[in-house]
Amino acid sequence: MPESKRTRKLYWTLQICGWLTMVCIESVNYTFFIVGNFSWDYTQLFLYGALLGLLFTHSFKLIIARFGVFAWRARTLWLLAFFATLLISLLINTLFYLPPVLQDQITIQSIFEPINFFSGIVNWARYVGVWIILYFLYQILERARKIEQEKLRSENAARIAELELLKTQLNPHFLFNALNSIKALVSIDQEKSRDAIVKLSELLRYTLNYGNQQLIPLHDELAEVKKYWALEQIRFGSRLQVQIDVEDATLNRLIPPAIILTLAENAIKHGVAKHSGDCLLQLKAILRGPTLAIEMTNPGKLELSGHTGIGLQNIEKRLHHFFGQRFMFTITEQNEQVIASIILTEL
């Protein structure tokens, strides 16, 4: 991946400052501990050495960038760092004494005396080694950061795709249940069937539009639930009774759209539709601090298969998408009543 302008600027700033720091360190070392007095000749020679260091380290950077070495195994990578340090230090040490040789200040033989030659390589290896270690660590950490970003981006894309799939599954699921609610009215009571079709169109508009929203206020969802139950009361008549007990404090809490509507469908399908007598559906919502509790109750018995229907599966998946571990979704049976409970906790 090409370097950004900011990264290149930082790289060259650190390169120049680092090698100028070497010049200062060596000049002070020669002035106070080796020669005993200051001389511009030494400083100029170390500036020449800094130029060599900058040239060879930058060339090394360009070479390894072409081969993608930071994808190699760690052991191979650090072996490369070790041998590169030795090679670059050898080259700098060899060329470092070229100006004094040309000016007849020292002889070539003295440069290649073993103790002088190897001590010079070790001296330059201190600076080159630090440069390579810092550069390699930066590249390794940068590569790990990019891999982590790609991983998070991929996971997020997968979650979004899954969520969109769940939404597309909910629309036909809701449409099927709603059409079942009015199909018997068409030939029996045309007036009621027209009223049912109007309510159905409003509900379908809601289910088609909520895909554009991640979370909605509870009062918006409640308005659609009331429409749905009004539609079902046309079908079931007086034997369907509804009780809504929702605290005012809960109305502005955000929830995934169609969550309560799906519970309402489920209560009709597994409660009212399977009983011949009067049926009471109860919807409650209370707020206790950061915790919102929603409860849907309908008559009936909890099926042994549990909540395996597509609607209830989608509720759990969508709640997990938006709230992570900060939710609880349960379905229980008490006294021939099935209770679906959702508990959501804000951060």
Q: Which has the closest alpha carbon to 331: 343, 323, 321, 319?
A: 343
pLDDT for the residue numbered 79:
95
> Taking the CB of residue 7, how many other CB atoms lie within 10 A of it?
11
Are 228 and 315 members of one domain?
yes
Cα–Cα dist 291/132, whole Å: 53
Structural domain harbouring 281:
183-345
Q: Which of 184-188, 200-204, 333-337 has the highest mean pLDDT?
A: 333-337
Are 199 and 295 members of one domain?
yes
In the block, tokens 């008559």 appear at 299
Tell me the angle at which helices 114-182 and 259-270 cross, rounded to the nearest 10 degrees: 40
Q: Between the CA of residue 176 and those of 44, 152, 167, 310, what are the distances in Å?
A: 86, 37, 15, 13
Are 22 and 48 spatial neighbours (Cβ–Cβ below 8 Å)? no
Tell me the angle at which helices 74-96 and 114-182 cross, rounded to the nearest 10 degrees: 140
Tell me whether residue 13 is in a domain: yes
> What ranges in 210-253 are assigned the alpha helix state H?
218-236
Cα–Cα dist 295/284, whole Å: 5
User: In terms of DSSP bridges, do strands 279-288 and 240-246 run parallel, antiparallel, or are they unpaired?
Assistant: parallel
Tell me whether residue 166 is in a domain: no
Tell me whether residue 56 is in a domain: yes
Tell me whether residue 332 is in a domain: yes
What's the mean per-residue pLDDT of the chain? 84
Are 116 and 252 members of one domain?
no
End-to-end CA distance of the chain: 37
Cα–Cα dist 123/136, whole Å: 20
pLDDT in tens, 6-54: 889 999 999 999 999 999 999 998 888 887 788 888 899 999 999 999 9
> Taking the CB of residue 193, how many other CB atoms lie within 10 A of it?
17
User: Which one of 154, 175, 191 terminates a domain?
Assistant: 154
Q: Does an H or E element contain 38, and which?
A: none
Tell me whether residue 224 is in a domain: yes
Tell me whether residue 175 is in a domain: no
pLDDT for the residue numbered 329:
94
Are 210 and 103 members of one domain?
no
In the block, tokens 């900060």 appear at 326
More confident residue, 85 or 156: 85
Tell me whether residue 169 is in a domain: no
pLDDT for the residue numbered 301:
84
Tell me whether residue 168 is in a domain: no
Are 117 and 266 members of one domain?
no
pLDDT for the residue numbered 48:
95
pLDDT in tens, 234-282: 777 888 999 999 999 999 999 988 889 889 988 888 888 787 788 999 9
Are 62 and 34 spatial neighbours (Cβ–Cβ below 8 Å)? no
Are 148 and 217 members of one domain?
no
User: Which one of 154, 173, 191 terminates a domain?
Assistant: 154
Q: Which amino acid does the sequence have at 317?
A: K
Cα–Cα dist 141/137, whole Å: 6
Number of domains within the chain:
2
Q: Which has the closest alpha carbon to 92: 61, 135, 46, 49?
A: 49
Are 309 and 195 members of one domain?
yes
Are 201 and 302 members of one domain?
yes
Residue 333's DSSP bridge partners are 338
pLDDT in tens, 83-104: 999 999 999 999 998 888 888 7
Give the side-chain half-sphere CA count within 13 A for 122. 6
CATH number for position 206:
3.30.565.10
pTM: 0.52
Of the listed ranges 128-142, 154-168, 219-233, 303-317, the least confidently predicted one is 154-168
Are 307 and 207 members of one domain?
yes
State what percent of residues in the chain have pLDDT above 90. Answer: 40
Are 192 and 143 members of one domain?
no
Q: Which has the closest alpha carbon to 269: 257, 259, 256, 279?
A: 279
Q: Which amino acid does the sequence have at 250?
A: T
Are 75 and 132 members of one domain?
yes
Are 20 and 106 members of one domain?
yes
